[in-house]
Structure 1
Amino acid sequence: MNRVLVVAYHYPPMRGSSGIQRTLKFSQYLPQHGWQPLVLSAHPRAYANSGPDQLDEIPREAIVHRAFALDTSRHLSLRGRYVGWMALPDRWVSWCLGAIPAGLRMIRNYKPQVIWTTYPIASAKLIGLALHRLTGLPWIADLRDPMTDVDYPADPLTRRLYRWIEEQTIRHCTLAVCTTPGAIVTYTKRFPDIPVSRFALIENGYDEENFANAAALQKVATPGPFTLIHSGIVYPSERDPGPFFEALADLKRDGSVTAERLRVVLRATAHDDFLRPLIERHGIADIVTLAPHIAYRDALAEMLGADGLLVLQATNCNHQIPAKLYEYLRARRPVLALTDATGDTAAALRHAGIDTIGPLDDKAGIKDALLRFLALAEAGHAPLASDEAVAANSRRARTAELARLLDQVTVTVPNAQVKGTSEAC
């Protein structure tokens, strides 16, 4: 069996991010395509939220090493404050100190044919760059979404460093993988001297086995208000719910929406402290509920039993598609998407046959979209994803695409090219 070194911060026992599923499912299904995953992840202490929920989904074929890593804000701060450079390019930069020597040792011991790194932790790209330059192994960089934009990251110094990491990654990797067509367009325009053949598309997806297990936990529906669920992180900028809250407040005042008609559940937002005052300020606490994190399987069961599912995606993320969208499509529940009609998220929904879409940043447009959505869903006429669209988005199908890329770049690296290393921390 061929071997691939997988550098991924997001991996069980970490919880609370849909980004975990991409790497976990790749590692689970790659052995079926002749590839053994060697997973280089972070020590669990680095995770603010961890648990055993999905540890049993790690395949027995996988060799997992959890290298030394700290979270600067939690482990290296004094009364919640720390020197800025200690969190560049991100709060987990200390992972590089453990992961680079650990990765070299794994390469020396197991002799993988390919390195595969995955975002959204920028430090993973530094680790991949270092291991690639030190060993000469081909490197597939899973960029997922663009690392930078005009005003992202917000801090100018961090943005400059991200730009440097992004450029070094694009110029040195063997292949750069994105999750949306728009992301590839962004990079080909940003780096016009890089051949288009260096970029590949592997979208996110859903896992059928997880949904089959979740179906057993699905609760019997009980009478009550229409329940609209947003499952996952609500970023203050990229998924700003402010105009949505304003629209709900207006509709509540004119009686179009009441607590008896609608219940909005924001599950595991990771920003409850930011959202709670907004909800109180708009007087919609009887309609909008902040719910805690639950196990992944329970979250899928909640999706299956929801009356509707909510997508929030700002215009500054037009070349991104939330990973949860594919799970929403598989759940086959009505979807209300508040996003830019010209972005990749809206395009993916329309391709699946769903047109219940409204803007995220326009209160009037949100009111119209929400009322139309509720009317369709309550009447049982809301559009659902087609069977063809759902089947095309399975994690098994996505893993087959990755295996083809791994086969494409596979080379034999002489042992002399792999330099020695010290013991990992």
Structure 2
Amino acid sequence: MKSKKILIITYYWPPAGGPGVQRWLKFAKYLPDLGWKPIIYTPENPSYPLLDESLMKDVPKDLEIVRTKIWEPYQLAEKLNKSNKKFKAGQFDVGQNQSWKSKLSIWVRGNFFIPDARVFWVKPSTEFLEKYLKENNIETIVTTGPPHSMHLIGLNLKKKLPNLKWVADFRDPWTEISYYKHLKLTNRSDKKHRFLESEVFKNADITLATSYTDAENFRKHGANAFCITNGFDESDARHHEQSEAIFSNASSKFTLSYIGVLEQLRNPENLWKALDDLVKTHLDFAENFSLKFVGRIDDKILQTLEDSSLKNHILNLGYLSHDKAVEEMAKTSLLLITNFPNETSKGIIPGKIFEYLATGKQIISFGPKDADVARILTETKAGKHFSYEDSEKIKSFILEKFELWKAGNLKDNSENIEQFSRKNLSEQLAKIL
């Protein structure tokens, strides 16, 4: 059977690090076995917030990758204010942490670069790809965002080539993302964002969401939307059933670990307070507790923790390669995941939860009530979800796990996680295509 070609338009591609790159990297890995030949279209000179060379090993050797140059103004923005580099990772200073330079930079970013600073790649990419698609007989494309400028490339191509099949993949929402309200948009800019988003929903043949709630919301806005979550790959997640040796290499401390980027908008202050109280009031807990960070933690969050009783319990390993980060997940007692606190973010499912699930470790989660993450944790019996208003319940949960750990009874366990394997998710995608 001859494979059908599918062009994937993505800003993030190895050696880019972080969860955003892994979704289509894994689809590109498994789609060839399902009748599809992926071709990647990505910038030649991108400005990535994180690099992870270890992900290069997952790029299929025979995968065709097409690159063209991009101009983006982040280098200029970083000269104005070093904290602007956070924009590339979707991070913002908020509230009292905002300087006048931060406020100005955020206002410029939101009102001058719509939908984002990669918008200058849209026109040249449209011109290049219109010709490329015709010459290579490609009838199906995927755009994956953020950055949502990728969807504008798809929108332009769909209008020029009406018979083209277009899949718009939203790894995060556009106007419903939590930081959207922090962009200091004028009414005119807000209307433009919403108009462009609506055009994408109406013109894409298929819209993909990474959560159940987002898919439902997209359908309400006129999209032909399906949910395909992110997941874990058995070949590199080191599943607890396959890697017993690594998992036995547990920490000598009762360790709560956060893996990934933690910005101010997802800062679980009530958790830090609960841990601070436990360290002050439970001598046994204080002697055996460790708070481990792997990844980029906002400087201001870190400073707050170091000014508290948790100071001597922090192990900050910084950014590690994906492989090393997975190993650190295994060497822990509890895994922490956080989401934006507002109701509109209940559909966000951070990608790392699936790799967390693959370890079999228990998970403590923070975010809005009735979040999709809570649904997954309930279905898999993998942990507990809390709102940012909870306090005493958090302490009870942590103490319960601590007592089990102390008695040697904190077992690895999770159920029904096979549905989230990258291979199974790729099969879902192939059916939709």
The TM-score normalised by the length of structure 2 is 0.83
**Partner in structure 2 of residue 89 of structure 1:** 115
- SS in structure 1 of the partner of residue 231 of structure 2: coil
Q: Which amino acid aligns with 2:414?
A: A
1:221, distance to aligned residue in structure 2 (A): 2.6
Cα shift at 1:289: 3.2
Give the Cα separation in 1 of the matches to 2:177 and 2:255: 37
Aligned-partner Cα distance in 2 for 1:163–1:322: 24
Structure 2 letter corresponding to 1:323? G
- Contact 1:353-1:383 within 8 A present in 2 as well: no
Which of structures 1 and 2 has the larger relative contact order (alpha carbons within 8 angstroms, sep 6+)?
1
CA contact (8 A) 1:332 1:384 kept: yes
CA distance in 1, matches of 2:420, 2:4: 26
Gap change, CA 1:223 and 1:330, over 3 Å in 2: closer
**Cα distance in 2 between the residues matched to 1:7 and 1:149:** 22
What residue number does 1:394 align with?
Answer: 421
Q: 1:338 to 1:51 in 2, by over 3 A?
A: closer
8 Å CA contact retained: 1:36, 1:61: no
- TM-score between both structures, scaled by the size of structure 1: 0.85
What secondary structure does 2:287 align onto? coil
For residues 91 and 258 of structure 1, do their structure 2 counterparts lie closer, same or farther at Cα, with a shift above 3 Å needed?
farther
8 A contact 1:249–1:283 mirrored in 2: yes
How many aligned positions are there? 396
Q: Residues of 2 paired with 1:260 and 1:162: CA distance?
A: 51
* Residue 12, structure 1, aligned to residue 18, structure 2: no
8 Å contact 1:242–1:278 — kept in the other structure? no
How far apart, in 2, do the equivalents of 1:26 and 1:127 lie? 21
Determine the C-alpha separation between the residues in 1 that align with 2:247 and 2:419.
28
Cα deviation for residue 112 of structure 1 reads 1.3
> For 2:432 and 2:268, how far apart are their aligned partners in 1?
38
1:180 aligns with 2:211: yes
Could you say which residue in structure 1 is the equivalent of 2:257? 229
The question of whether the paired residues in 2 share the 8 Å contact of 1:205 and 1:323 is answered with yes
Distance 1:220 1:331, change over 3 A: closer
Report the CA distance between 1:212 and its aligned residue: 4.3
SS at match of 1:104: helix
More divergent stretch after superposition (309-318 vs 392-401): 309-318
Q: Distance in 2 between matches of 1:257 and 1:321?
A: 34
Q: What SS does the aligned partner of 1:328 have? A: helix
Map Cα deviations across residues 130-172 of structure 1 (whole Å, 9 max, x no partner).
1221222111111234322396402224654432222111111
RMSD over aligned Cα atoms: 2.7
Match of 2:327 in 1: 301
Letter in 2 for 1:372: E
Corresponding residue number in structure 2 for 1:411: none
Q: Which moved more, 1:313-322 or 1:94-103?
A: 94-103
* 1:384 alignment partner AA: N
2:56 — aligned with what?
55
Note if 1:245 corresponds to 2:272: yes
Is the counterpart of residue 385 in structure 1 residue 394 in structure 2?
A: no
Unaligned 5+ residue runs, structure 1? 407-425
**Aligned twin of 1:412:** none
Deviations 1:299-328 (CA, angstroms, capped at 9, x unpaired): 112212322211112332211111111111
Given the superposition, is the C-alpha separation of residues 135 and 328 from structure 1 closer, same or farther in structure 2, using an over 3 Å criterion? same
Report what 2:143 is aligned to. Answer: 117
Verify the 8 A CA contact 2:251 2:331 in the aligned structure 1: no
Higher helix share: 2
Asked whether 1:69 is paired with 2:70, we answer: yes
